[in-house]
C-alpha cells in the first residue's frame, strides 16, 4: 500500500507537468460546462442539472483513454521494466494509476460544479452522497477499463483504435451527448448493456430527480462490480515488458469485465426502470426556458 501511495504521488506530479493531460482532463471538461450549460442549455436554469450530469459523465469517462495511453507508453518506452527490478508489484502500479486518476479528476469535477453554480445558476446540488458515490465508482470503473485496454493491446496503435471505438460508443449510446430518450428504441435497449449509460442515467437521477442512493443501487452495484472485475483482470494480464505480447485467451478473459453489464442489460430490458427514469429526467431539459432574471 505504501508503494502504491508513493507511485500515486509521483504520477500526480507527472500529470500536472503534462500539457496534454492539462488540456484533455482539465481545460476541455471545463470548456464543456460552458458549451453544454451555456450554448446548448441557453442559460435555462431547469436544464442545468441535466446538462451538468452529462458533462460530469464525459469528464469521468475520459479516464479510460488517458490511463490506457499512459500505461502503454510506459511499457513501450521500457519505463515499466525499470520498476519491475525494484520491489514493486503490478497491484501497486495499477492501484496508483486508478488512485492518481481519481485524485486528479476530483478538482475538475468540483470546478465544474462551481462554474455551474456561479455562472449558470445551478440551484441545487442534488443528492450529494449519490453524486460522490457515482463520481467515485465511475472514475474507478472507467480507469480500470483503461487498464484492461492497456493489458490486451500490444501497441499504441492498437490501443488508440480500441479507445476510439469505445469512446464513440460511450458518447453516442450513453445519453451523455444525445439524450437517451431521443434514441430509437433498439438503440436504447443496446445502451442498457454498457457502463457509460448507467453512469449518465445515475448522475441524471441524483442531480435532476434527487433520488435516493437506494434508487441508484443497480447502477452503483454494476459500476462497482465492473471496477472490481476489471482491476482483477488487468492485474492478471499486466505486462511489464515492451516485447511481451498478450495471448488470445487473455483477450477473452478481458471480455469478462463486461459481464456485470450484460447481466444488468438483460435485467434492465425486462424489469428495469432506467429508461423510464431517463425519460422523466429528460423532461426537465425540455421544460420552458426559465432564465436568470438578473442576466
Partner 1 sequence: MFTVTSAIIEVENLTKRYGDVQALRGVSFAVQEGEVFGLLGPNGAGKTSTVEILEGLRPADGGRVSVCGLDPQTSGDAFKQKIGAVLQSTALPDKIRVEEALNVFASFYTHHRDTAGLLKRFGLEEKRRAYYSQLSGGQKQRLALAMSLVNDPSVIFLDEPTAGLDPQVRREIYDIVEELKKERKTILLTTHYIEEAERLCDHVAIVDQGLVIAQGTPRELKQGSAGTARIELRLARPEPDGALAKLDGVADCLASDGVYILHSTRVPQTIVSLVKHLEAEGNELSGLEITAPTLEDVFLELTGRRLRD
The Cα–Cα gap between 180 and 56 comes to 16
Please report how close the Cβ of residue 100 comes to partner 1 at its closest, in angstroms.
13
Please report how close the Cβ of residue 194 comes to partner 1 at its closest, in angstroms.
32
The Cα–Cα gap between 289 and 291 comes to 6
The Cα–Cα gap between 286 and 284 comes to 5
Asked if residue 179 lies in contact with residue 286, where contact means CB atoms within 8 angstroms, the answer is no
Between residues 15 and 55, which has the closer beta carbon with respect to partner 1? 15
Compute the C-alpha angle 224/97/28, nearest 5°: 90
Asked if residue 204 lies in contact with residue 228, where contact means CB atoms within 8 angstroms, the answer is no
Run of H or E residues at 222: helix 217-237
Task: List residues near partner 1 by CB under 8 A.
Answer: 2-3, 6-7, 10, 13-14, 17-18, 74, 77-79, 81-82, 84-88, 240-242
Between residues 81 and 210, which has the closer beta carbon with respect to partner 1? 81
Between residues 57 and 88, which has the closer beta carbon with respect to partner 1? 88
The Cα–Cα gap between 289 and 45 comes to 8
Please report how close the Cβ of residue 15 comes to partner 1 at its closest, in angstroms.
9
Among 281, 241, 294, CA closest to 57: 281
The Cα–Cα gap between 67 and 50 comes to 27
Burial of 148 (0-12, 13-18, 19+ CB in 10 A): buried
Among 57, 29, 30, CA closest to 208: 57
Between residues 87 and 293, which has the closer beta carbon with respect to partner 1? 87
Between residues 78 and 212, which has the closer beta carbon with respect to partner 1? 78
Greatest CA separation for the chain: 64
Please report how close the Cβ of residue 241 comes to partner 1 at its closest, in angstroms.
7
The Cα–Cα gap between 207 and 181 comes to 17
Please report how close the Cβ of residue 231 comes to partner 1 at its closest, in angstroms.
21
Please report how close the Cβ of residue 36 comes to partner 1 at its closest, in angstroms.
32
Between residues 3 and 210, which has the closer beta carbon with respect to partner 1? 3
Between residues 44 and 239, which has the closer beta carbon with respect to partner 1? 239
Between residues 66 and 195, which has the closer beta carbon with respect to partner 1? 66
Tell me phi and psi for residue 145, to 5 degrees: -65, -40
Please report how close the Cβ of residue 69 comes to partner 1 at its closest, in angstroms.
13
The Cα–Cα gap between 133 and 67 comes to 21
DSSP class of 127? -
Please report how close the Cβ of residue 84 comes to partner 1 at its closest, in angstroms.
6
Amino acid at each position: 500500500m505504501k508503494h502504491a501511495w508513493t507511485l500515486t504521488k509521483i504520477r500526480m506530479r507527472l500529470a500536472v507537468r503534462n500539457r496534454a493531460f492539462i488540456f484533455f482532463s482539465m481545460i476541455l471538461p471545463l470548456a464543456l460546462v460552458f458549451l453544454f450549460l451555456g450554448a446548448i442549455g441557453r442559460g435555462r436554469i431547469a436544464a442545468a442539472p441535466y446538462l451538468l450530469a452529462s458533462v460530469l459523465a464525459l469528464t469521468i469517462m475520459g479516464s479510460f483513454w488517458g490511463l490506457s495511453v499512459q500505461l502503454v507508453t510506459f511499457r513501450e518506452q521500457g519505463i515499466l521494466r525499470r520498476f519491475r527490478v525494484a520491489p514493486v508489484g503490478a497491484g501497486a502500479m495499477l492501484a496508483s494509476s486508478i488512485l492518481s486518476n481519481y485524485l486528479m479528476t476530483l478538482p475538475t469535477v468540483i470546478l465544474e460544479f462551481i462554474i455551474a453554480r456561479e455562472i449558470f445558476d445551478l440551484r441545487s446540488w442534488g443528492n450529494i452522497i449519490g453524486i460522490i458515490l457515482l463520481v467515485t465508482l465511475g472514475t474507478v470503473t472507467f480507469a480500470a477499463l483503461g487498464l484492461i485496454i492497456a493489458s490486451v493491446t500490444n501497441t499504441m496503435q492498437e490501443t488508440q483504435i480500441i479507445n476510439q471505438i469505445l469512446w464513440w460508443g460511450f458518447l453516442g449510446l450513453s445519453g451523455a451527448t444525445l439524450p437517451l430518450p431521443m434514441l430509437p428504441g433498439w438503440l436504447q435497449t443496446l445502451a442498457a448493456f454498457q457502463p457509460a449509460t448507467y453512469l449518465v442515467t445515475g448522475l441524471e437521477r441524483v442531480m435532476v430527480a434527487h433520488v435516493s442512493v437506494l434508487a441508484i443501487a443497480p447502477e452503483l452495484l454494476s459500476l462497482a462490480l465492473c471496477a472490481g472485475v476489471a482491476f482483477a483482470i488487468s492485474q492478471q494480464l499486466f505486462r511489464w515488458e515492451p516485447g511481451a505480447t498478450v495471448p488470445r485467451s487473455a483477450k477473452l478473459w478481458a471480455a469478462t469485465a463486461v459481464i456485470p453489464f450484460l447481466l444488468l442489460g438483460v435485467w434492465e430490458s425486462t424489469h428495469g426502470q432506467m429508461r423510464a427514469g431517463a425519460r422523466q429526467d429528460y423532461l426537465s431539459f425540455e421544460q420552458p426556458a426559465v432564465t436568470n432574471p438578473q442576466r
